[in-house]
Structures are given as C-alpha cells and as structure tokens.
Amino acid sequence: MTLAGFLMAVLALLLAPGPTNTLMALAAAQRGIGATLRLIPAELGAYLAVVVPLSFLGADLLTAWPGLAVGLKLAAGAWVMWLAVKLWRLPRPDAASGIVTGRQVMVTTLLNPKALVVGLVLLPSVADGPDGEAIAIFGAAVVAVAMLWGCLGATMRGPLPFLQRAASLWLGAVSVSILAGALSA
C-alpha cells in the first residue's frame, strides 16, 4: 500500500464513530473545544503505544497466542460498556463537571479495536513496512480526527443531558458489537 492509500484507509477508520471519538465530542460539548485539545495527547499516546509494537510484533503474537485477540476484544467491550453505564448514571453535567478525563480517553483508546486494525493490518501493509513516515502520518491523522470530533462536539453545546444519554447509548451499542464479535470468534 502506498502512503497515500495508507492515509485514506487510516482516515476512513478513524473518522468512524467509536468510543474514543464519542468521548472527544462529549468533552467538547461539556467544556468546549479546549477540553478536547487537552485530551489529544492521551489519545495519541495510547494509539501509538498499541499501534507501533503491534505493527512489528502483532502477527507473531497472535499466531503464538490466538486467544489474545479475543481477550483484548472482551476487555475492550467490557470497558466501553462500563463507560456507557457510567455516563448514563452521571448527574446532569455542567461546565465544570469534567466528566471525560484523560485516563478514560487513554484506556478507551488502548482498548479501541481501531488500534488493532491499524497496528496489525494497515501499518504492516505500507510498501516498505512501518517506518517513521507512516507513523507520523498516522499520528497527524489521529490529531486531525480528534480535533474534528471535538469541533463537532463543540457545536452541540446545547442540551447536555440529552447528549450525555445519546453518547451513553452509542457506547453501549459499540460495546455490544465488540462483545458479540469477540464471542463469535
């Protein structure tokens, strides 16, 4: 795959609604785009912590321990469901509530199935193998998509209880999808 093809595939994957994007949009809806900007290092660091090692070692690890992928999916599904329940049960948010934390974004991103796809499929398929240029392109795409989701969230600064519940329902649906995929594997 060329670097341009890699970028297009990464953007298509990262732009899709998912647990990390939901948290980034919700943070901006709660406290403005600045909240999302402060969370981007947690998201980027978590993605890189998963993607870079997987791009070099992932196929061998999954061959040696086939249950590892299922275990990761189960952990991801459980975490996202916990976030969904926590969001549903939170009291009415206000501007100072700080519901979305860097820790939540980091753990959610570490367990995000998108990181597995990038690390196991997309980065290793770059023509010359994963290198600094492909990893830099991935990092820039992560930042750009996080800012885009933050801007989207910032435009929805209206009825926060509704947005909080909608985000909770979406995360619940994502969790069920992840868990169903893990159990059918």
| pLDDT exceeds 50 at position 95 | no
pLDDT of residue 121: 76
Instruction: Enumerate the H helices of 90-131 as residue ranges.
Output: 102-110, 113-117
Which pTM value belongs to this model? 0.77
Residue 81 above 90 pLDDT? no
Percent of the chain at pLDDT exceeding 90: 28
Hey, where are the domains in the chain? 3-184
Q: What is the pLDDT of residue 142?
A: 97
Report the mean per-residue pLDDT for the chain.
83
Query: So what's the pLDDT on residue 106?
Result: 96
Q: What is the mean pLDDT of residues 15-42?
A: 90
3-class DSSP assignment, residue 93: coil
- CB burial string 63-78: b at 16+ within 10 A, e below: eeeeeebeebbbebbe
Of the chain, the end-to-end C-alpha distance in Å amounts to: 27
Strands (E) in 46-172, as ranges, are none
Residue written as token pair 């901006």: 28
Q: 157 or 82: whose pLDDT is higher?
A: 82
Contact (Cβ atoms closer than 8 angstroms) between residue 156 and residue 31:
no
172-183 average pLDDT score:
83
Contact predicate 73/160, CB 8 Å: no
Q: Is the pLDDT of residue 17 over 90?
A: no
